[in-house]
Structure 1
Protein backbone atom coordinates (compact mmCIF):
# COMPACT_ATOMS: atom_id res chain seq x y z
CA UNK A 1 0.00 0.00 0.00
CA UNK A 2 1.54 3.29 -1.10
CA UNK A 3 1.30 6.22 1.30
CA UNK A 4 -1.19 8.95 0.52
CA UNK A 5 -0.05 12.59 0.69
CA UNK A 6 -1.65 12.87 4.14
CA UNK A 7 0.18 9.76 5.34
CA UNK A 8 3.45 11.16 4.00
CA UNK A 9 2.77 14.34 5.99
CA UNK A 10 2.32 12.24 9.15
CA UNK A 11 5.58 10.40 8.46
CA UNK A 12 7.45 13.67 7.98
CA UNK A 13 5.96 15.08 11.21
CA UNK A 14 7.25 12.10 13.20
CA UNK A 15 10.65 12.37 11.54
CA UNK A 16 10.85 16.08 12.35
CA UNK A 17 9.84 15.51 15.99
CA UNK A 18 12.45 12.76 16.33
CA UNK A 19 15.16 14.87 14.69
CA UNK A 20 14.35 18.00 16.70
CA UNK A 21 13.73 16.05 19.95
CA UNK A 22 10.44 17.83 20.48
CA UNK A 23 7.25 16.18 21.81
CA UNK A 24 4.09 15.73 19.79
CA UNK A 25 1.18 16.61 22.03
CA UNK A 26 -1.27 15.32 19.41
CA UNK A 27 -1.08 12.71 16.68
CA UNK A 28 -0.02 14.65 13.56
CA UNK A 29 -2.97 13.80 11.35
CA UNK A 30 -5.72 11.21 11.00
CA UNK A 31 -4.83 8.16 13.08
CA UNK A 32 -4.43 4.97 11.02
CA UNK A 33 -7.31 2.56 11.49
CA UNK A 34 -5.73 -0.52 9.89
CA UNK A 35 -2.30 -2.12 9.86
CA UNK A 36 -2.06 -1.44 6.12
CA UNK A 37 -2.47 2.29 6.78
CA UNK A 38 0.06 2.12 9.63
CA UNK A 39 2.67 0.37 7.51
CA UNK A 40 2.14 2.87 4.69
CA UNK A 41 3.10 5.65 7.10
CA UNK A 42 5.98 3.61 8.49
CA UNK A 43 7.35 2.76 5.05
CA UNK A 44 7.18 6.39 3.96
CA UNK A 45 9.12 7.41 7.08
CA UNK A 46 11.74 4.73 6.39
CA UNK A 47 12.19 6.04 2.86
CA UNK A 48 12.42 9.67 4.00
CA UNK A 49 14.78 8.74 6.85
CA UNK A 50 17.32 6.99 4.62
CA UNK A 51 19.27 5.21 7.36
CA UNK A 52 20.22 1.55 7.12
CA UNK A 53 17.96 -0.87 8.97
CA UNK A 54 19.87 -3.31 11.16
CA UNK A 55 16.92 -5.12 12.66
CA UNK A 56 13.19 -5.22 13.30
CA UNK A 57 11.18 -5.25 16.49
CA UNK A 58 8.11 -7.44 16.84
CA UNK A 59 5.37 -6.54 19.28
CA UNK A 60 2.17 -8.23 20.34
CA UNK A 61 -1.35 -6.99 19.68
CA UNK A 62 -3.64 -7.26 22.70
CA UNK A 63 -5.95 -10.29 22.42
CA UNK A 64 -9.09 -8.15 22.43
CA UNK A 65 -7.82 -6.22 19.39
CA UNK A 66 -6.65 -9.16 17.27
CA UNK A 67 -9.89 -9.52 15.31
CA UNK A 68 -10.14 -5.79 14.61
CA UNK A 69 -6.57 -5.52 13.30
CA UNK A 70 -6.40 -8.91 11.60
CA UNK A 71 -3.34 -10.31 13.35
CA UNK A 72 -1.50 -10.88 16.60
CA UNK A 73 1.74 -8.93 16.06
CA UNK A 74 3.18 -5.70 14.69
CA UNK A 75 6.64 -4.85 13.33
CA UNK A 76 8.86 -1.78 13.33
CA UNK A 77 12.38 -0.97 12.08
CA UNK A 78 15.48 -0.77 14.25
CA UNK A 79 18.12 1.40 12.61
CA UNK A 80 21.71 0.16 12.55
CA UNK A 81 23.06 3.29 14.22
CA UNK A 82 20.74 2.69 17.19
CA UNK A 83 21.94 -0.85 17.90
CA UNK A 84 24.36 -0.78 20.83
CA UNK A 85 26.44 -3.08 23.01
CA UNK A 86 25.65 -4.23 26.53
CA UNK A 87 26.12 -1.40 29.03
CA UNK A 88 25.47 1.39 26.54
CA UNK A 89 23.76 4.69 27.28
CA UNK A 90 20.50 4.70 25.33
CA UNK A 91 18.77 8.02 24.57
CA UNK A 92 14.99 8.40 24.75
CA UNK A 93 12.49 11.21 24.22
CA UNK A 94 12.26 12.61 27.75
CA UNK A 95 8.95 14.39 27.08
CA UNK A 96 7.52 11.54 25.04
CA UNK A 97 7.08 7.84 25.75
CA UNK A 98 9.98 5.66 26.96
CA UNK A 99 10.16 2.03 28.04
CA UNK A 100 12.59 -0.88 28.26
CA UNK A 101 11.73 -4.48 27.38
CA UNK A 102 13.62 -7.72 27.99
CA UNK A 103 13.75 -9.58 24.68
CA UNK A 104 15.42 -12.49 22.95
CA UNK A 105 17.24 -11.39 19.79
CA UNK A 106 17.55 -13.62 16.74
CA UNK A 107 20.11 -12.97 14.01
CA UNK A 108 18.88 -14.07 10.59
CA UNK A 109 21.14 -15.53 7.93
CA UNK A 110 20.23 -15.75 4.25
CA UNK A 111 16.43 -15.63 4.08
CA UNK A 112 15.90 -15.93 0.33
CA UNK A 113 12.48 -16.59 -1.19
CA UNK A 114 11.79 -20.06 0.20
CA UNK A 115 8.64 -20.91 2.11
CA UNK A 116 9.01 -20.80 5.88
CA UNK A 117 7.55 -22.53 8.90
CA UNK A 118 8.85 -22.52 12.49
CA UNK A 119 11.46 -25.21 11.86
CA UNK A 120 12.71 -23.51 8.70
CA UNK A 121 13.06 -20.26 10.66
CA UNK A 122 15.13 -22.03 13.32
CA UNK A 123 17.46 -23.29 10.61
CA UNK A 124 17.80 -19.75 9.24
CA UNK A 125 18.87 -18.24 12.57
CA UNK A 126 22.63 -17.93 13.01
CA UNK A 127 22.79 -16.56 16.56
CA UNK A 128 20.54 -15.92 19.55
CA UNK A 129 21.33 -13.22 22.07
CA UNK A 130 19.79 -11.69 25.15
CA UNK A 131 18.84 -8.06 24.81
CA UNK A 132 16.79 -5.03 25.73
CA UNK A 133 14.59 -3.13 23.31
CA UNK A 134 14.29 0.59 23.97
CA UNK A 135 10.82 1.80 23.07
CA UNK A 136 10.46 5.55 22.72
CA UNK A 137 8.45 8.02 20.68
CA UNK A 138 8.01 11.80 20.74
CA UNK A 139 4.25 11.10 20.96
CA UNK A 140 3.60 10.36 24.67
CA UNK A 141 0.28 8.62 24.03
CA UNK A 142 1.58 6.31 21.30
CA UNK A 143 0.47 3.11 23.02
CA UNK A 144 -2.97 4.39 24.03
CA UNK A 145 -4.60 4.40 20.61
CA UNK A 146 -4.12 0.83 19.41
CA UNK A 147 -1.44 -1.07 17.49
CA UNK A 148 -1.83 0.79 14.20
CA UNK A 149 -0.83 4.08 15.82
CA UNK A 150 2.08 2.33 17.58
CA UNK A 151 3.28 0.78 14.32
CA UNK A 152 3.04 4.06 12.42
CA UNK A 153 5.95 5.61 14.36
CA UNK A 154 8.58 2.91 13.78
CA UNK A 155 6.64 0.55 16.05
CA UNK A 156 7.66 2.82 18.95
CA UNK A 157 11.32 1.76 18.66
CA UNK A 158 14.34 3.86 19.63
CA UNK A 159 17.10 1.29 19.78
CA UNK A 160 18.34 -2.14 20.73
CA UNK A 161 20.91 -3.32 23.27
CA UNK A 162 22.76 -6.50 22.26
CA UNK A 163 23.49 -8.64 25.28
CA UNK A 164 25.56 -11.81 25.65
CA UNK A 165 24.70 -14.78 23.44
CA UNK A 166 22.76 -17.84 24.54
CA UNK A 167 25.34 -20.47 23.55
CA UNK A 168 23.16 -23.57 23.78
CA UNK A 169 20.05 -22.19 22.11
CA UNK A 170 19.85 -24.95 19.48
CA UNK A 171 19.75 -27.65 22.15
CA UNK A 172 17.21 -26.25 24.59
CA UNK A 173 13.62 -25.11 24.76
CA UNK A 174 13.91 -21.33 24.96
CA UNK A 175 10.21 -21.07 25.77
CA UNK A 176 10.77 -22.17 29.38
CA UNK A 177 13.80 -19.96 30.10
CA UNK A 178 13.10 -17.66 33.08
CA UNK A 179 13.57 -13.94 32.44
CA UNK A 180 13.59 -11.13 34.99
CA UNK A 181 13.59 -7.36 34.47
CA UNK A 182 14.85 -4.73 36.91
CA UNK A 183 14.89 -0.94 36.84
CA UNK A 184 17.40 0.69 39.16
CA UNK A 185 17.81 -2.71 40.78
CA UNK A 186 14.13 -3.12 41.62
CA UNK A 187 12.21 -6.06 40.08
CA UNK A 188 9.50 -4.92 37.68
CA UNK A 189 8.65 -8.16 35.89
CA UNK A 190 9.38 -11.86 35.56
CA UNK A 191 8.10 -14.38 33.04
CA UNK A 192 9.02 -17.02 30.49
CA UNK A 193 8.53 -16.97 26.73
CA UNK A 194 5.44 -19.15 27.19
CA UNK A 195 3.53 -15.84 27.19
CA UNK A 196 4.75 -15.05 23.64
CA UNK A 197 2.22 -16.89 21.46
CA UNK A 198 4.42 -19.34 19.48
CA UNK A 199 7.62 -17.90 20.90
CA UNK A 200 10.57 -16.00 19.41
CA UNK A 201 10.79 -18.16 16.30
CA UNK A 202 7.11 -17.49 15.68
CA UNK A 203 7.92 -13.78 15.87
CA UNK A 204 10.62 -14.23 13.24
CA UNK A 205 8.23 -16.18 11.02
CA UNK A 206 5.66 -13.38 11.31
CA UNK A 207 8.33 -10.83 10.43
CA UNK A 208 9.53 -12.69 7.33
CA UNK A 209 5.98 -13.04 6.02
CA UNK A 210 5.06 -9.44 6.84
CA UNK A 211 8.14 -7.90 5.22
CA UNK A 212 7.68 -10.04 2.11
CA UNK A 213 4.12 -8.79 1.81
CA UNK A 214 5.45 -5.22 2.10
CA UNK A 215 8.16 -5.83 -0.50
CA UNK A 216 10.99 -5.27 1.99
CA UNK A 217 14.14 -7.39 1.62
CA UNK A 218 15.79 -8.93 4.68
CA UNK A 219 19.58 -8.65 4.59
CA UNK A 220 21.74 -11.36 6.18
CA UNK A 221 22.68 -10.28 9.69
CA UNK A 222 19.32 -8.66 10.40
CA UNK A 223 18.33 -8.81 14.07
CA UNK A 224 14.82 -9.71 15.18
CA UNK A 225 13.84 -8.34 18.58
CA UNK A 226 11.24 -11.00 19.20
CA UNK A 227 8.89 -9.35 21.67
CA UNK A 228 8.60 -8.21 25.28
CA UNK A 229 8.88 -11.19 27.63
CA UNK A 230 8.18 -9.60 31.02
CA UNK A 231 6.14 -6.64 29.78
CA UNK A 232 6.60 -3.06 28.59
CA UNK A 233 8.26 -1.24 31.48
CA UNK A 234 8.14 2.54 31.37
CA UNK A 235 11.46 4.13 32.26
CA UNK A 236 12.79 7.64 32.87
CA UNK A 237 15.97 9.50 32.01
CA UNK A 238 18.68 8.69 34.55
CA UNK A 239 17.43 5.20 35.31
CA UNK A 240 19.12 1.90 34.53
CA UNK A 241 17.48 -1.19 33.02
CA UNK A 242 18.82 -4.69 33.50
CA UNK A 243 17.48 -8.04 32.32
CA UNK A 244 18.50 -11.42 33.68
CA UNK A 245 18.06 -14.49 31.48
CA UNK A 246 18.20 -18.05 32.79
CA UNK A 247 19.34 -16.76 36.17
CA UNK A 248 22.86 -16.06 34.91
CA UNK A 249 23.02 -14.00 31.69
CA UNK A 250 22.79 -10.26 32.32
CA UNK A 251 22.30 -7.36 29.93
CA UNK A 252 21.84 -3.74 30.90
CA UNK A 253 21.85 -0.13 29.81
CA UNK A 254 21.48 3.36 31.21
CA UNK A 255 18.82 5.77 29.96
CA UNK A 256 19.71 9.26 28.82
CA UNK A 257 17.57 12.05 27.42
CA UNK A 258 17.78 14.62 24.68
Structure 2
Protein backbone atom coordinates (compact mmCIF):
# COMPACT_ATOMS: atom_id res chain seq x y z
CA UNK A 1 0.00 0.00 0.00
CA UNK A 2 1.32 3.43 -0.92
CA UNK A 3 0.82 6.40 1.37
CA UNK A 4 -1.96 8.64 0.09
CA UNK A 5 -1.75 12.39 0.57
CA UNK A 6 -4.76 13.65 2.48
CA UNK A 7 -7.34 15.62 0.52
CA UNK A 8 -9.54 18.34 1.97
CA UNK A 9 -12.34 15.76 2.19
CA UNK A 10 -10.11 13.44 4.25
CA UNK A 11 -9.18 16.33 6.54
CA UNK A 12 -12.80 17.41 6.99
CA UNK A 13 -13.82 13.89 7.99
CA UNK A 14 -10.88 13.66 10.39
CA UNK A 15 -11.82 16.94 12.08
CA UNK A 16 -15.41 15.82 12.63
CA UNK A 17 -14.31 12.43 14.01
CA UNK A 18 -11.88 13.89 16.54
CA UNK A 19 -14.32 16.64 17.49
CA UNK A 20 -17.01 14.03 18.18
CA UNK A 21 -14.53 12.15 20.35
CA UNK A 22 -13.52 15.28 22.25
CA UNK A 23 -17.12 16.37 22.83
CA UNK A 24 -18.43 12.80 23.36
CA UNK A 25 -21.05 13.55 20.72
CA UNK A 26 -22.59 10.52 18.97
CA UNK A 27 -22.48 10.47 15.18
CA UNK A 28 -25.72 9.22 13.67
CA UNK A 29 -24.06 9.07 10.23
CA UNK A 30 -20.51 8.87 8.95
CA UNK A 31 -19.27 12.46 8.42
CA UNK A 32 -18.62 12.35 4.68
CA UNK A 33 -17.98 9.84 1.94
CA UNK A 34 -17.02 6.53 3.53
CA UNK A 35 -13.46 5.47 2.65
CA UNK A 36 -13.42 2.60 0.18
CA UNK A 37 -9.72 1.71 0.42
CA UNK A 38 -7.23 1.34 3.25
CA UNK A 39 -5.15 4.12 1.71
CA UNK A 40 -8.14 6.47 2.07
CA UNK A 41 -8.70 5.25 5.62
CA UNK A 42 -5.11 5.91 6.67
CA UNK A 43 -5.14 9.33 5.00
CA UNK A 44 -8.07 10.21 7.28
CA UNK A 45 -6.40 8.59 10.28
CA UNK A 46 -3.09 10.37 9.67
CA UNK A 47 -4.92 13.70 9.41
CA UNK A 48 -6.75 13.03 12.67
CA UNK A 49 -3.49 12.13 14.43
CA UNK A 50 -1.93 15.39 13.24
CA UNK A 51 -4.93 17.46 14.32
CA UNK A 52 -5.18 15.63 17.65
CA UNK A 53 -1.60 16.33 18.67
CA UNK A 54 -1.34 13.80 21.49
CA UNK A 55 1.60 11.43 21.82
CA UNK A 56 1.04 7.90 20.54
CA UNK A 57 2.03 5.22 23.03
CA UNK A 58 0.96 2.19 21.05
CA UNK A 59 -1.06 0.77 18.17
CA UNK A 60 -3.95 -1.65 18.00
CA UNK A 61 -3.99 -4.30 15.30
CA UNK A 62 -7.26 -5.85 14.18
CA UNK A 63 -8.19 -8.53 11.71
CA UNK A 64 -9.91 -7.94 8.39
CA UNK A 65 -12.56 -10.58 7.69
CA UNK A 66 -11.39 -13.27 5.23
CA UNK A 67 -14.08 -12.43 2.67
CA UNK A 68 -12.83 -8.80 2.55
CA UNK A 69 -9.09 -9.47 2.27
CA UNK A 70 -8.97 -9.35 -1.53
CA UNK A 71 -11.02 -6.16 -1.71
CA UNK A 72 -8.93 -4.31 0.88
CA UNK A 73 -5.55 -5.77 0.00
CA UNK A 74 -4.59 -7.23 3.37
CA UNK A 75 -5.78 -9.14 6.41
CA UNK A 76 -5.10 -6.60 9.18
CA UNK A 77 -5.74 -2.96 10.06
CA UNK A 78 -4.29 -0.65 12.68
CA UNK A 79 -5.08 2.45 14.70
CA UNK A 80 -3.25 4.60 17.27
CA UNK A 81 -3.48 4.21 21.03
CA UNK A 82 -2.64 7.50 22.70
CA UNK A 83 -0.26 7.51 25.65
CA UNK A 84 -2.78 9.20 27.94
CA UNK A 85 -5.23 6.33 27.33
CA UNK A 86 -2.81 3.54 28.32
CA UNK A 87 -3.16 2.37 31.92
CA UNK A 88 -1.17 -0.10 34.02
CA UNK A 89 -3.73 -2.60 35.22
CA UNK A 90 -1.09 -4.64 37.03
CA UNK A 91 -1.03 -2.07 39.85
CA UNK A 92 -4.77 -1.46 40.14
CA UNK A 93 -7.95 -1.87 38.17
CA UNK A 94 -8.61 1.21 36.00
CA UNK A 95 -11.95 2.75 35.09
CA UNK A 96 -12.06 3.10 31.30
CA UNK A 97 -14.27 5.65 29.51
CA UNK A 98 -16.26 4.73 26.40
CA UNK A 99 -18.73 6.49 24.13
CA UNK A 100 -21.97 5.40 25.73
CA UNK A 101 -24.11 6.41 22.74
CA UNK A 102 -21.63 5.08 20.21
CA UNK A 103 -19.91 1.70 19.97
CA UNK A 104 -18.05 0.13 22.91
CA UNK A 105 -16.38 -3.25 23.41
CA UNK A 106 -13.66 -4.96 25.41
CA UNK A 107 -11.15 -7.39 23.89
CA UNK A 108 -8.66 -9.75 25.54
CA UNK A 109 -5.31 -9.27 23.81
CA UNK A 110 -1.63 -10.07 24.11
CA UNK A 111 0.44 -6.87 24.21
CA UNK A 112 3.93 -6.62 22.78
CA UNK A 113 6.35 -3.82 23.68
CA UNK A 114 8.87 -2.82 21.03
CA UNK A 115 12.50 -2.25 21.83
CA UNK A 116 14.73 -0.73 19.15
CA UNK A 117 13.17 -1.41 15.75
CA UNK A 118 15.61 0.41 13.45
CA UNK A 119 15.45 0.18 9.67
CA UNK A 120 16.27 -3.46 9.06
CA UNK A 121 13.92 -5.87 7.34
CA UNK A 122 12.10 -8.40 9.50
CA UNK A 123 10.29 -11.67 9.00
CA UNK A 124 7.98 -13.59 11.32
CA UNK A 125 10.93 -15.14 13.16
CA UNK A 126 13.35 -12.22 13.38
CA UNK A 127 10.70 -9.75 14.51
CA UNK A 128 10.84 -11.37 17.95
CA UNK A 129 14.28 -9.83 18.34
CA UNK A 130 12.89 -6.29 18.55
CA UNK A 131 10.25 -7.18 21.17
CA UNK A 132 11.30 -6.15 24.67
CA UNK A 133 8.33 -7.34 26.73
CA UNK A 134 5.05 -9.25 26.41
CA UNK A 135 2.09 -8.65 28.69
CA UNK A 136 -1.53 -9.64 28.99
CA UNK A 137 -4.12 -6.94 28.49
CA UNK A 138 -7.49 -5.61 27.42
CA UNK A 139 -8.13 -3.25 24.53
CA UNK A 140 -11.09 -0.92 24.84
CA UNK A 141 -12.70 -0.39 21.44
CA UNK A 142 -15.03 2.58 21.26
CA UNK A 143 -16.17 5.17 18.74
CA UNK A 144 -18.78 7.93 18.66
CA UNK A 145 -20.08 6.30 15.46
CA UNK A 146 -22.28 3.37 16.57
CA UNK A 147 -22.10 1.67 13.17
CA UNK A 148 -18.31 1.81 12.89
CA UNK A 149 -17.91 -1.95 12.41
CA UNK A 150 -20.80 -2.34 9.95
CA UNK A 151 -19.26 -0.65 6.90
CA UNK A 152 -16.00 -2.48 6.39
CA UNK A 153 -12.44 -2.18 7.69
CA UNK A 154 -11.66 1.14 5.98
CA UNK A 155 -14.36 2.91 7.98
CA UNK A 156 -13.14 1.21 11.16
CA UNK A 157 -9.53 2.22 10.50
CA UNK A 158 -10.45 5.82 9.68
CA UNK A 159 -11.62 6.48 13.26
CA UNK A 160 -8.43 5.47 15.09
CA UNK A 161 -9.14 1.82 14.32
CA UNK A 162 -12.02 2.02 16.81
CA UNK A 163 -9.63 2.33 19.77
CA UNK A 164 -10.30 4.13 23.05
CA UNK A 165 -7.65 2.79 25.38
CA UNK A 166 -5.47 -0.04 26.60
CA UNK A 167 -5.00 -1.79 29.94
CA UNK A 168 -1.58 -3.32 30.51
CA UNK A 169 -1.97 -6.51 32.50
CA UNK A 170 0.68 -8.61 34.23
CA UNK A 171 3.63 -9.78 32.12
CA UNK A 172 3.90 -13.25 30.63
CA UNK A 173 6.90 -14.81 32.29
CA UNK A 174 9.56 -16.35 30.05
CA UNK A 175 7.53 -15.32 27.01
CA UNK A 176 10.32 -16.21 24.59
CA UNK A 177 9.90 -19.85 25.50
CA UNK A 178 6.18 -19.83 26.29
CA UNK A 179 3.70 -21.49 23.92
CA UNK A 180 1.74 -18.27 23.39
CA UNK A 181 -0.26 -19.59 20.46
CA UNK A 182 -1.87 -22.33 22.53
CA UNK A 183 -2.33 -20.36 25.74
CA UNK A 184 -6.01 -20.50 26.80
CA UNK A 185 -7.70 -17.12 27.20
CA UNK A 186 -11.13 -16.32 28.63
CA UNK A 187 -13.08 -13.07 28.77
CA UNK A 188 -15.86 -12.34 31.24
CA UNK A 189 -18.23 -9.38 31.59
CA UNK A 190 -19.80 -8.92 35.01
CA UNK A 191 -18.51 -12.34 35.97
CA UNK A 192 -20.11 -14.20 33.06
CA UNK A 193 -17.83 -15.80 30.48
CA UNK A 194 -18.50 -14.31 27.04
CA UNK A 195 -15.61 -15.86 25.10
CA UNK A 196 -12.84 -18.43 25.30
CA UNK A 197 -10.15 -19.24 22.74
CA UNK A 198 -6.46 -19.53 21.98
CA UNK A 199 -4.34 -17.52 19.54
CA UNK A 200 -4.23 -20.43 17.08
CA UNK A 201 -6.93 -18.72 14.97
CA UNK A 202 -5.10 -15.36 14.91
CA UNK A 203 -3.52 -15.64 11.46
CA UNK A 204 0.24 -15.86 12.22
CA UNK A 205 -0.22 -14.86 15.84
CA UNK A 206 0.84 -11.82 17.85
CA UNK A 207 4.29 -11.62 16.28
CA UNK A 208 2.62 -11.49 12.88
CA UNK A 209 0.73 -8.45 14.15
CA UNK A 210 4.03 -6.83 15.15
CA UNK A 211 5.50 -7.53 11.72
CA UNK A 212 2.42 -6.10 10.00
CA UNK A 213 2.63 -2.97 12.13
CA UNK A 214 6.28 -2.34 11.31
CA UNK A 215 5.60 -2.67 7.61
CA UNK A 216 2.42 -0.57 7.46
CA UNK A 217 3.87 2.25 9.57
CA UNK A 218 6.95 2.39 7.38
CA UNK A 219 4.78 2.92 4.30
CA UNK A 220 3.11 5.79 6.17
CA UNK A 221 6.40 7.33 7.31
CA UNK A 222 5.66 6.77 11.00
CA UNK A 223 8.49 5.81 13.36
CA UNK A 224 8.17 3.24 16.13
CA UNK A 225 10.02 4.53 19.22
CA UNK A 226 11.28 2.04 21.79
CA UNK A 227 8.56 1.46 24.37
CA UNK A 228 5.72 1.48 21.84
CA UNK A 229 3.01 -1.09 22.59
CA UNK A 230 1.14 -3.17 20.04
CA UNK A 231 -2.21 -4.65 21.01
CA UNK A 232 -1.97 -7.71 18.83
CA UNK A 233 -5.61 -8.57 18.14
CA UNK A 234 -8.77 -9.84 19.80
CA UNK A 235 -8.33 -13.42 20.99
CA UNK A 236 -11.80 -14.35 22.25
CA UNK A 237 -13.80 -11.91 20.13
CA UNK A 238 -15.14 -8.36 20.25
CA UNK A 239 -17.39 -8.20 23.30
CA UNK A 240 -19.75 -5.23 23.46
CA UNK A 241 -19.89 -3.55 26.86
CA UNK A 242 -21.76 -0.72 28.58
CA UNK A 243 -20.90 1.85 31.25
CA UNK A 244 -21.28 0.33 34.69
CA UNK A 245 -20.05 -3.09 33.59
CA UNK A 246 -16.76 -4.79 34.44
CA UNK A 247 -14.54 -6.81 32.10
CA UNK A 248 -11.94 -9.36 33.12
CA UNK A 249 -9.58 -11.42 30.97
CA UNK A 250 -7.87 -14.55 32.26
CA UNK A 251 -4.74 -15.85 30.51
CA UNK A 252 -3.40 -19.37 31.02
CA UNK A 253 -5.96 -19.95 33.78
CA UNK A 254 -4.15 -17.72 36.26
CA UNK A 255 -3.08 -14.31 34.91
CA UNK A 256 -5.90 -11.83 35.42
CA UNK A 257 -6.46 -8.30 34.13
CA UNK A 258 -9.65 -6.32 34.56
CA UNK A 259 -11.30 -2.93 34.26
CA UNK A 260 -14.61 -1.24 34.85
CA UNK A 261 -16.36 0.93 32.27
CA UNK A 262 -17.72 4.44 32.50
CA UNK A 263 -19.15 6.95 30.04
1:25: which partner in 2? Answer: 28
4+ long deviations beyond 2 Å? none
**Structure-2 separation of matches of 1:95 and 1:164:** 31
> How far apart are the structure 2 equivalents of 1:135 and 1:248?
24
- In the alignment, the residues of structure 2 paired with residue 110 and residue 168 of structure 1 have an alpha-carbon distance, to the nearest angstrom, of 20
Question: TM-score scaled by structure 2?
Answer: 0.97
Which whole-Å deviations, capped at 9, do the CAs of 1:5-54 have from their partners, x for residues lacking one? Answer: 01100000001100111100000000000000000000000000000000
Query: CA RMSD for the aligned pairs?
Result: 0.4
Provide the rounded CA distance (Å) in 2 between the counterparts of 1:206 and 1:104: 15
Q: Pick from 31, 39, 46: which aligns with 1:36?
A: 39
Counterpart secondary structure, 2:176: helix
Give the whole-Å Cα distance in 2 for the aligned partners of 1:118 and 1:106: 14
TM-score, normalised relative to structure 1? 0.99
> Does residue 230 of structure 2 align to residue 227 of structure 1?
no
- Distance in 2 (CA, whole Å) between partners of 1:204 and 1:236 is 30
Q: Name the structure 2 match of 1:213.
A: 219
SS in 2 for 1:148: helix
Deviation, 1:119, is 1.7
Deviations 1:83-129 (A, max 9, x none): 01211000000000000000000000000000001122111101000
Gaps of 5+ in 2: none
2:170 equivalent in structure 1? 164
- What whole-Å deviation, never above 9, does each CA across 1:115-147 have from its counterpart, x for those lacking one? 001122111101000000000000000000000
1:243 and 2:243 are equivalent in the alignment = no
TM alignment of 1:44-123, pairs within 5 A: 44-86=47-89, 87-123=93-129
Matched, 1:139 2:145: yes
Task: Name the SS for the 2:187 alignment partner.
Answer: strand
Aligned length: 257
| Equivalent-residue separation in structure 2 for 1:129 and 1:196 (angstroms) | 17
Deviation at 1:168, TM superposition (A): 1.6
Alignment correspondent of 1:191: 197
Structure 1's unaligned 5+ residue stretches are none
1:150 pairs with 153, 156, 166, which one?
A: 156
CA distance in 2, matches of 1:34, 1:130: 32
